[in-house]
A and B are shown apart, each in its own frame.
Chain A
Amino acid sequence: MSRDSLQIDTNGQLRHFLSISGLNRQLLIDILDTAESFAGVTEQTVKKVPLLRGKTIVNLFFEASTRTRTTFELAAKRLSADVLNINVTQSSASKGETLLDTLRNLEAMHVDMFVVRHADSGAAHFIASNVAPHVSVINAGDGRHSHPTQAMLDMFTIRRVKGPDFGRLRVAIVGDIMHSRVARSQINALNLLNTGEVRIVAPRTLIPTHAESLGTHVFHDLQEGIKDADVIIMLRLQRERMQGALLPSEHEYFELFGLTEDKLANASPDVTVMHPGPINRGVEMDSEVADGPRSVILEQVTHGIAVRMAVMSMAMSPRDTAAGQPHAG
């Protein structure tokens, strides 16, 4: 089964939100426009809309997360849905229950949507292939594969700051591309939105093989990679990468790939600096840059709520379930 038919129903509407690849440009723009309308809601004193009243959403997290889970929870509550947080690492998985059993049990409680995070690539896809036809699945991060809501909130932030024409933008993504689901989704989204140039910048140990096939230009030198960039997205560097012989030390990494005010001089004068968080200050970037005027890191977090509201409401908008595809794997 192709990813298109799994994510999009026969009417072209969003059914599940699993990855950026498999979607089309218009759908991404619809998500951004819908998020724009919700951004107003989140700024009002009464921050709720009744769109998903009576719906039950389960945050099914097989991997620890604070920021993503919290913003999903807030987004669901602002849509008036009932939210249940389940941290599976601490419950049934340790008792030997299979992923499918966990899913079946929760489904029996008449859940309408699963928001899933899992350490294995393809987990959200697997769950979406196995849920009942009326249940929607939102991917909140699967292995190294995809983190599509993060990518969409980044696109939302870029559009707000730079305007809707991605074609004139040069975007550089810096850091651990190899292990990053965020980077894969960002690259897909930027390319679908016809971004002028997508660059990735890292030492060879952190660049996956055939990275060009994702639609990127590969750089191993930060100064060259961010030259004339309009947007720089810094990725979080997991500390455990030092143990796997991928990097010699945080010190050398920061020297070569850490973003400082000095190095920023190579970028476009009105460059915007982003980071999906949480930041390792002094590893990926200086505090001076993170807290500086070019940084939109906190706006990204705020936008995360509106974008997640948009995706959840679109995936659960009333639809003819009879027209939906059967989803037996």
Chain B
Amino acid sequence: MPVERIQHRIRISGGRVIDPANKVDVIQDIYVAGGKIVALGAAPDGFTADAEIDAGKQIVCPGLVDVCARLREPGQEHKATIASESQAAASGGITTLCCPPDTSPVIDTPAVTEFIRLRAEAAGKARIVTLAALTQELKGEQLSEMAALKKAGCVGVSNAMQPLLNPLVQRRALEYAATFDLTVFLYPNDHWLANNGCAHEGRVATRLGLPGIPEAAETAAVARDLALIEQTGVRAHFCRLTTGRAAQMVARARYDGAAITADVATPYLYLTEVDISEFDSRCHLLPPLRTVEDRQRLRDALQTGTLSAICSDHQPHEADAKLGTFPSTEPGISGLDSLLPLGLQLVDEQVITLPDLIHRLTAGPAKILGLPYGTLSVGAIADICIFNPEMTWQLTTASMQSRGHNTPFMGREFKGRVTHTLLDGNRVYSLG
């Protein structure tokens, strides 16, 4: 059921406005009308607000853009739904979510992407864009109907976590995607080298006897991908790098002029193999958590901009999915609730400046997705996140909005909390 949209005229007053795309960082008012930002600083002639948000001592920034969030619908509604996760996004200041194609059924027909669009509209809490499957059913054999999928609104193509075993198929898929100016989203992971492992091949896996995934599973895949990107001239994005060496390979290729971008997911900026400790299934991720050195190099690459986006890599699960022996549990962390607060912790730890962090959460990912969001320019769509950087709160089963409670950050005290989220100029979340 579509939500009726009332286009409010809103004045957001007294906030510190940070808009990295326009290099803005100043205390000023923002005026919203007709779903768009109509003015910054002084009110336009004749503007009368029918709503006012006092953003004093708060930060006003573009709504967050998350390049990878699994919403579990269609296909796994027992884990989460588009409605439940849209709500979680809104309360986390996230206004745009990008859903990878590994739903069930796979996003390899316009019907599935249309279904997701309708569900998102009905929920009305976040904008959801989709990546189309690169190959039919993600099997790595037949190309998907990319032209039709693009026309249906998919913002890029990807084979998600499913392997493209045959390099010739990958080459053709990349060429075909380039034909339609589609960005290819690659998850670098060599299927054979990963060998069904479940932890980083390092000290911890050796001690616990867990089947390991070597660094080379990522770097060998990046190397092959880079060769085929160069061969085909496609525009490509590397999803969720986890090793310092892969980040270095991407930095070098970018320096050499390759049309590539890359992101990192929040868990990999905080956690390492050590957090698996004694078989903590909440830290079972794929690709796996790496070493302390990898974490540092990912932080460095985030700071330099080699990694131009931070995503949640949101993977909500039902409780049973994490109750079992470590290798048998399902990988992934429910990350929407902690995307911004974990990012703010990076600022506290002086890994990155606040404007740069906001860039990696807004304009950076929007550019990767080729979307006009992630900025507060006059005339832009009014997707806005307002947060109180000093407010502390605790992530608990009660405060968590995502239906999936699978996170090793449960119980963690965070500083910085979203107070208001605007989507298309409509208030979709207010704290309290």
Contact = CB atoms under 8 A, between A and B. Distances in A.
Interface of A: 1-3, 6, 21, 98-100, 118, 120-123, 125-126, 130, 142-146, 181, 184, 208-211, 213-214, 329
The listed residue with most A CB atoms (<10 A of its CB), out of B203, B212, B325, B326, is B325
A1 B214 CA distance: 27
Contact of A144 (B210, B214, B277, B324): B210
A177 to B, nearest CB: 10
Contacts of B327: 120-122, 143
B279 A122 contact: yes
B202 A99 contact: no
B202 A2 contact: no
The listed residue with most B CB atoms (<10 A of its CB), out of A2, A120, A123, is A120
B203 A126 contact: no
Contacts of B210: 121-122, 143-145
A210 B205 CA distance: 10
Given A118-B325, A122-B325, A209-B201, A3 B278 contact: yes
11 contacts: A6-B278, A98-B323, A98-B324, A121-B210, A121-B211, A122-B325, A123-B325, A126-B324, A208-B205, A210-B202, A214-B207
B206 interface: yes
A210 B291 CA distance: 13
B216 to A, nearest CB: 11
A27 to B, nearest CB: 18
B201 A120 contact: no
Interface string B196-237: 000001110111111110100000000000000000000000
Contact of B209 (A181, A209, A211): A181
B324 A125 contact: no
B192 to A, nearest CB: 10
Contacts of B277: 2
Nearest first, the 9 closest Cβ-Cβ pairs linking A and B are A144-B209, A145-B209, A122-B279, A120-B325, A208-B206, A122-B326, A121-B209, A123-B325, A210-B203
A126 B206 contact: no
- B interface bracket (residues with beta carbon within 8 Å of A): 20 to 34
Interface string B312-330: 0000000010011111100
A208 B211 CA distance: 10
B206 A122 contact: no
The listed residue with most B CB atoms (<10 A of its CB), out of A120, A122, A123, is A122
Contacts of B209: 121, 142-146, 181, 184
Contacts of A146: 209
Given A126-B325, A211-B206, A213-B207, 9 more contacts: A120-B326, A120-B328, A121-B208, A121-B209, A121-B279, A125-B278, A126-B324, A208-B205, A209-B202
A100 B325 contact: no
B350 to A, nearest CB: 31
A142 B211 CA distance: 13
Interface string B327-356: 110000000000000000000000000000
A100 B206 contact: no
A1 B278 contact: yes
B241 to A, nearest CB: 21
Nearest to B277: A2
A125 B278 CA distance: 8
Contacts of A125: 278-279
Contacts of A144: 209-211
A2 B278 CA distance: 7
A89 to B, nearest CB: 14
A271 B289 CA distance: 43
A300 to B, nearest CB: 22
A61 B256 CA distance: 57
Nearest to B276: A122
Contacts of B206: 208-211, 213-214
Contacts of A122: 208, 210, 278-279, 325-327
A297 B277 CA distance: 35
